[in-house]
Amino acid sequence: MPSYDFSCNQCGAEFTLSCRISAKDRQTCPQCGQAQLTQRFTTVNIGKSGCYRCDTNQAMGCGTEGCCACHA
């Protein structure tokens, strides 16, 4: 399932969500619940899952500061 990076237009939170392409436009901010999101274009991870910095397989949110021990 693809991961998408978003920022919330309401509270400014930045987060990553894994969802189907068809559900991408129906996501809400996990912090404030608003649906006004802007998709951020960050890294592309093809053929791997997990952290793009150290190749560990972590939960959602990986690819941001603090996702695993190598760059906590």
Min mean pLDDT across 29-33, 38-42, 45-49 is at: 45-49
pLDDT single digits (tens) 1-18: 888 999 999 999 999 999
**CB-based contacts of 49: which residues, under 8 Å, 6+ apart?**
57
- Helix (H/G/I), strand (E/B), else coil: 42: coil
pLDDT of res. 65: 52
Residue range 25-46: mean pLDDT, rounded = 88
**CB-based contacts of 67: which residues, under 8 Å, 6+ apart?**
51, 58, 61
Residue range 48-70: mean pLDDT, rounded = 52
Q: Find out whether 37 and 26 touch, Cβ atoms under 8 Å.
A: no
